[in-house]
Amino acid sequence: MKKLLAIIFFSLLFYNFASADLYLDASKRMGLKPSGLKEPTNPSNSLYNTLAKKWKKYMYDTQLMDFLEYCRTISASSSAGLIQQADCMYKRDVKIIRQYGFDTKFQMETLYSTYQTYRGIMSVAAVDARFATSKSNHTDIIANALMKVQTVWKDSKIQQWELFHREAETEISKILEKEKDNYPEINDNEILAASSGTGFFVSKQGHMITNHHVISGCNYVKAIYEGEEYDSEILASDKINDLAIIKSNIVPKKTYSVSNIDAKLLEPVIIAGYPLGKKISQSIKATSGTVTSLSGLGDNYAEFQTDAALNSGNSGGPIIDNKGNVVGVAVSKWQEQGVESFNFGIKSSILKIFANANNLEFLEANKKELNKENLGELVTEATVYLECWMTGKKIKELISKELSNKAFYSKFN
């Protein structure tokens, strides 16, 4: 019976998906041409085309034929196996959509709603099959459930495409509106202070750590320390882990040591930096919280999560423990309305690997806890405000295409 069910399952999948181009099906329902998209005539259309091609590939990668290989060890012939198939399909779909970067709130809600529907179908079939009066009846119940799941799955893909299309149109409209009404009136060749970030000293020779995205694209980087501006040299950067080493002629009053071990779950931490740049002030800000997860966004184990407040401009700042040791580098936050306390830091172990590869040695980690006064002095005297200077052309390019997570000054937004 298991062999018969497997044949039925494979036949249904190939019938429903091998001969169906979901992209074209969705396009026809939406009144689009079979080619899908118009030829790009400006950067915004080009952006849309790029996203749509990427989305089409996602659609194909999440057809159920692909899931057979991924979920091949789960048998759909048993009652428990039906539900396990549903769970496996959902997990695979979530993994792929995150890989492609389309895990928006609406897309994830659609995925989960679809999952609940086909899991319900599987659950009912599992109960009915368990009490089937014959092997033939048992086979028919499971086969019918699988057919219903194919329909739900296919309709979900079409619905996701339509959601993507509307979201893409909305985002492109925002870009066009910004280009029209809020485009910075600056000279392409003029070099301006464009954005801010945070760095921290790790040597008396003026070596600083920050994020790659803080210094990326800058014609030059200025470190502002105790009211004075200093030119800084970029020594090394790591785009993948979002880290950079820069150096200036500053002789800092204090420097940070780096922890030999990564932060632990629920460990108290402090984030120091310059959130929101000059919009608030150029004085140091410090927030406290705890480590809430040992992995970052998308199960990135090079990062950890904390509920200590982190805002634009904090990027590159130190995350320290109660001994004053750096346990992480502030890197990003989850930006979505109604979502709070999803802030991320790069682990100290990753920072040490990067530093070792670039022949930068850190101070020995502190072994004793520091009181609040000493922690305050460390934060104030070893953290630095960074300013990225860029050409007008580069500023307009990054803002119009929304390709940067830099903390641009308000006059450019």
pLDDT digits (tens, 9 = 90+) for 244-284: 999 999 999 999 999 999 999 999 999 999 987 654 456 78
Average pLDDT rounded to a whole number, residues 16-37: 34
Predicted pLDDT of residue 17: 31
Average pLDDT rounded to a whole number, residues 338-351: 81
Residue 386 pairs in a beta bridge with 197, 223
Dihedral angle at the C-alpha atoms of 73, 74, 76, 80, nearest 10 degrees?
150
Predicted pLDDT of residue 222: 96
Which whole-number Å values give the CA distances from 243 to 60, 316, 387, 393, in the listed order?
A: 35, 8, 16, 25
Interval 280-335: pLDDT, tens: 456 789 999 999 999 988 789 999 999 998 888 899 999 999 999 999 999 976 65
Measured distance CA(192)–CA(221) in Å, rounded: 11
What is the chain's Cα-based Rg?
A: 26
Measured distance CA(160)–CA(99) in Å, rounded: 16
Percent over 90 (pLDDT), the chain = 40
pLDDT at 153 over 80: no
Predicted pLDDT of residue 100: 73
Predicted pLDDT of residue 146: 75
Q: Pick 85 or 191 by higher pLDDT.
A: 191
**Do the beta carbons of residue 8 and residue 139 sit within 8 Å?**
yes
pLDDT tier at 142, thresholds 50, 70, 90: confident
pTM for this structure?
Answer: 0.57
Query: In the predicted model, what is the mean pLDDT of the chain?
Result: 78
